[in-house]
Structure 1
């Protein structure tokens, strides 16, 4: 029987953190610290909290995720997404414990024509991606036990995300224009949390895979337009008013930060090393929507 863990989770109200709180509670004591208790922009506060709490595992589920906003506040984005993960890695090594950290498809520029593997060279397009890549590099430089999990297009029933925005706009607007040339895998935060639990259980069993960087997204692929269509089907199935959809190219929807056209991540390595696999994105979406009922 495994001893109960003391798990420190940074971030309290984020999409992944909320799902982790639902799925990890029976593994031990969850210490969930929001910005009021743990401000990732203040390194000394991180050091004081972690040393005082002495957890058995750190999960960094907090990040500066406002992609467009990051363009105008790069210092804050790098403090939270780059400096803080490096400090967590140093503290984890000091305590002799693992660190689990979440990264993003935005470390790539999207120019590749096939799914990205962990061996592909990152090349971020904007500040957000650059700050997340710097966070990965800071963790690797410490060379402690860590899992960097790159995911994409995260949504849930909480916070700000494409699913909730679309559900609202589809009922408010008569017509929506949605980008159709960016391809990726919509990934439910619940899937990320479930997979994280499976990784923790593998580690606890004494038979972990190799530590390092892995891709963790739902299986399959679609465009933002395809994702919107799937959400619209659910709205229509509930006999609610639903907007018509029009597919447009990215150039017709300019944003402060450029987005990668190809956000597909090859997740086979995680399955090979840790025996952890993900559901098809449509199945995960159905499961997420069922929780709204």
Structure 2
């Protein structure tokens, strides 16, 4: 196994926290996972200093360095009213980080989203499919992808979707909280995607990081990584209730029209994992199995909402 040193901007979020935990448990690995208050990726000077210091520390420890960017502005509705902030964090920030990586000769993995697609498809989106974001969040994330890939850095973009984990807010925690407040609730049953446990995504990212650090990174520069299978928010909610030990019949289906939100959500967010598997990377397990594993591992964090 390649001995890694990994810098994880956004290291206090859902995915960053899982990356840090896995690396801290790995013998001989070095990890620096600063949160946004410790490393603001929109601050060019701070980013270059952090990358240069990290590169030096990795060299001193004789480790293979990789940067995994998990920093993002993920408030979809808020991005519509404050696109400038979303653009700084999701577009300019990754571009700055990528240029610093290029200057230091470090490879970069950048986490992105299904929201770069329009979300009106009928088959799983492939990495080569044409992006067409409908939201400010999606547009800024796509701009971030392009900034990273055009930076001159040895970089890969990994898109994912419907992420949940023990850290931060997410759908699973929301369902647990609402379950304690209401006898019944309605959840949309006409939006499709693949729930993805942050811990499984982190394992996939680290497998890719090992390949990249060893100099055998995939030729394809955009990849998709989610837990396998397709479901709706309604079926996902019922599965969460089951794992909570609650009656899933308390969750009723509704349409998107019956549950309007400020910002349109993709009706179809399924990302194809074909390119991931073709690159020799291990496909993530089925989403239902992952949800069970998540509750076995972090049940208290989810149940507390």
- 3-state SS of 1:177 partner: strand
Residue from 215, 220, 228 that aligns with 2:237:
228
Shift of 1:241: 7.1
Q: Which residue is 1:44 aligned to?
A: 45
Shift of 1:21: 0.9
Q: How many residues end up aligned between the 2 structures?
A: 289
Shift of 1:140: 1.2
Task: Give yes or no for contact 2:69–2:109 (8 Å, CA) kept in 1.
Answer: yes
Aligned-CA RMSD value: 1.7
- 3-state SS of 2:209 partner: helix
| Residues 1-293 of structure 1: pairs in structure 2 closer than 5 A | 2=2, 4-25=3-24, 26=26, 28-54=29-55, 56-236=65-245, 240=246, 244-293=250-299
Task: Give yes or no for contact 2:107–2:212 (8 Å, CA) kept in 1.
Answer: no
Shift of 1:248: 0.9
Q: Per-residue displacement from partner, 1:107-133 (whole Å, max 9, x unpaired)?
A: 011111111101111011111000000
Any runs of at least 4 consecutive aligned residues in structure 1 with deviations exceeding 6 A, and if so which?
A: none
What are structure 2's unaligned runs of at least 5 residues?
59-64, 300-305
- 3-state SS of 1:149 partner: strand
Q: Per-residue displacement from partner, 1:51-99 (whole Å, max 9, x unpaired)?
A: 2332522111110001111111111100000011111111111111110
Task: Give yes or no for contact 2:66–2:209 (8 Å, CA) kept in 1.
Answer: no
Q: Which residue is 2:61 aligned to?
A: none
TM-score (norm 1): 0.93
Q: Per-residue displacement from partner, 1:21-64 (whole Å, max 9, x unpaired)?
A: 11122252111111222112323322232223325221111100
Q: Per-residue displacement from partner, 1:218-272 (whole Å, max 9, x unpaired)?
A: 1100000010010111223xxx577711111112222221111000001110110
- 3-state SS of 1:147 partner: strand
CA distance in 2, matches of 1:85, 1:194: 22
Shift of 1:208: 2.9
TM-score (norm 2): 0.90
- 3-state SS of 1:58 partner: strand
